[in-house]
Amino acid sequence: MLVGRLYANETIGWLMTIDRTNRQLIDQQVVYYDNAEGISQIEGMWLPRQQQAIVQTITYDETGTEQAKRVTYTVQPDGELTLLN
């Protein structure tokens, strides 16, 4: 699950795994942080067969220059998140 929270001067995104039977959090990773100094967006894609989540962040600085970052996480059988790249 990809969850975001917008505060007055920052935005944070988390990737988390949850046990469906008891609805308990298994693992979580902060995958996005923005301190409101630019314009940003975050996208998530779930690949169920590979048990992978791809998180892409795109930021734009004051000049409008785009910077993209793509990170892949694997969900282990026990629900733990592992960073691939």
pLDDT higher than threshold 80 for residue 38: no
Record the pTM.
0.77
Q: Residue 71's domain spans which residues?
A: 2-83
Higher model confidence: residue 26 or residue 64?
A: 26
Tokens of 61: 């600085």
- The sign of the dihedral angle between the CA atoms of 2, 56, 60, 38 is positive
Classify residue 73 as exposed, middle or buried by CB count within 10 Å of its CB (0-12, 13-18, 19+). Answer: buried
Domain count, the chain: 1
pLDDT at position 32 is 83
* Residue-wise burial string across 27-66, b where 16 or more C-beta atoms lie within 10 A, e elsewhere: bebebbebeeeeebebebeeeeeeeebbbbbebeeeeeee
Answer whether residue 37 shows pLDDT above 80.
no
